[in-house]
Amino acid sequence: MLAAMPPTPDVTAPGAAVPDRGRADACPGALRLHTADDGGLARVRLPGGLLTARQAIALAEASQALGDGELETTSRGNVQLRGLAPDCGAELGERLRAVGLLPSDTHERVRNIVASPLAGLDTLGNADVQAWVRELDARLCASDWAAGLSGKFLFALDDGRGDVAALDADVTLIAAPGGPALLRLGRAEHGHPVEAGQEVTAVLDAARAFLDALRGSGRKAWHLREVPDLLPAGTVSLPTACVPSASVSVGALPGGLSVGMRFGRASAAQWRALVAASAGELRLTPWRGAVLPGAPADRLPALAAAGFRTEPGSAWERATACTGLPGCAKSLADVRADAARALDTGAGAGSGAVSGAGAGAGTGGLPVHWSGCERRCGHPAGRWVDVLATGHGYRVTVNGPTTTAGAPVDVRNEEMAEAVAEARRTTK
């Protein structure tokens, strides 16, 4: 599907620095731990964010036995364990294999699949993307060539509502009403129609063609968006829903419950409370929350008491942060502590500029992300408010680090809540 073209410099976006792709990516996995200041970090891939109750409990037990006793969800609906001892890899692998969370040692880092979390729970979707998730995962792990993908390469399976289609995936499959699904490559504005029954085959063919095109051209890249000239042009306009959209709202849903986690972190005790409230299945979302299909609304109070977000409209909606100090040596600040103070200030203000920091998904305010250094780990896709530590405060930029709707604003910690509120309120 991807035609090899003459070599040209790799780019990620206009004006962006050329990425160094001449080395293997250092993305952590469940078997290859990343060394951080707070110990080893393991990232467990969860295709579609899907977990059984047994698997969720196994992760909680592993975090307590081997790590710091907390679990961290990522912007791809995966789970990270932190504070791991350097010699725990073998035991962690055994624990994961025992519950089906490590089906392939050779492919575990490439199982990056996000899917619409509410698929099948309401009437808004056009396809059972959970079936696509299971098929794609099984065939991905069974394909020798797929082990050559970067640990950052992302597949998105959207049921037509436009949620995960907005996440900047490398290969996106979008279900269409009453017609063929559409395949989008990178950030293309047009898609390729896919014959019914061939959806997962088309996704895999696109990923393999990407690797073939790189080999044929001598190029080095981790993402399709880095080599746009190798992508064949699509022929069908994408649905208008495929633009950055709000995250899944928290609270009672037509087919279950949805809760949020502060910065995606939850203790093992909170994790067990989540499992206890579920009906046996959990779906972690790319917005650092969890959907509990089939769970009754009367379990919301227990989840709120356990520390989960269950009410929409708070300052914490669509607010994220990198690890920061003390877990990351590159960080210039304890960004999570600083961000929490700003968000709690916004939540308690009730009105005015500061309360605007809690505009959240329901009012159209942009997502906001706090970063401890220029790498901006874990920032959202699309447009967002960038809050960057400078070593003597923070710099607030509207629309992310490369495109601004106004000049960056340098603020002290005590001014941050108001500056973030202004950025979220004035950008639609």
DSSP state of 284: E
Q: Phi and psi for 72 in degrees, rounded to 5?
A: -130, 120
Residue scoring higher pLDDT (90 or 357): 90
pLDDT digits (tens, 9 = 90+) for 292-305: 999 999 999 999 99
Work out the average pLDDT over 43-67. Answer: 97
* E-assigned strand segments in 375-417: 385-389, 394-397, 409-411
Q: Does residue 286 contact residue 256 with C-beta atoms inside 8 Å?
A: no
**CA 389 and chain centroid, separation:** 22
pLDDT digits (tens, 9 = 90+) for 356-395: 233 333 334 788 899 999 888 888 877 888 999 988 888 8
Q: What percent of the chain has pLDDT over 90?
A: 54
Q: What is the pLDDT of residue 353?
A: 28
Q: What is the pLDDT of residue 358?
A: 31
pLDDT digits (tens, 9 = 90+) for 109-155: 999 999 999 999 998 889 889 999 999 999 999 999 999 999 999 99
pLDDT digits (tens, 9 = 90+) for 26-53: 789 999 888 887 888 999 999 999 999 9
What is the average pLDDT value for the chain, to the nearest integer? 84
Work out the average pLDDT over 182-204. Answer: 94
How far does the chain reach from its first CA to its final CA, in angstroms?
A: 37
pLDDT digits (tens, 9 = 90+) for 248-265: 889 999 899 999 999 999
Q: What is the pLDDT of residue 4?
A: 29
20 confidence band (pLDDT: 50, 70, 90): low
329 confidence band (pLDDT: 50, 70, 90): confident
Taking the model in full, what pTM does it have? 0.84
Q: What is the pLDDT of residue 403?
A: 56
Q: Is the pLDDT of residue 416 over 80?
A: no
Cα separation, 151 vs 154, in Å, equals: 8
CA atoms within 13 A on the CB side of 288: 26
Q: What is the pLDDT of residue 357?
A: 31
Element (H, E) at 347: helix 335-349
The string of DSSP letters for 109-151 reads GG--EEE-TTTTTSS--SS-HHHHHHHHHHHHHT-GGGGGS-T
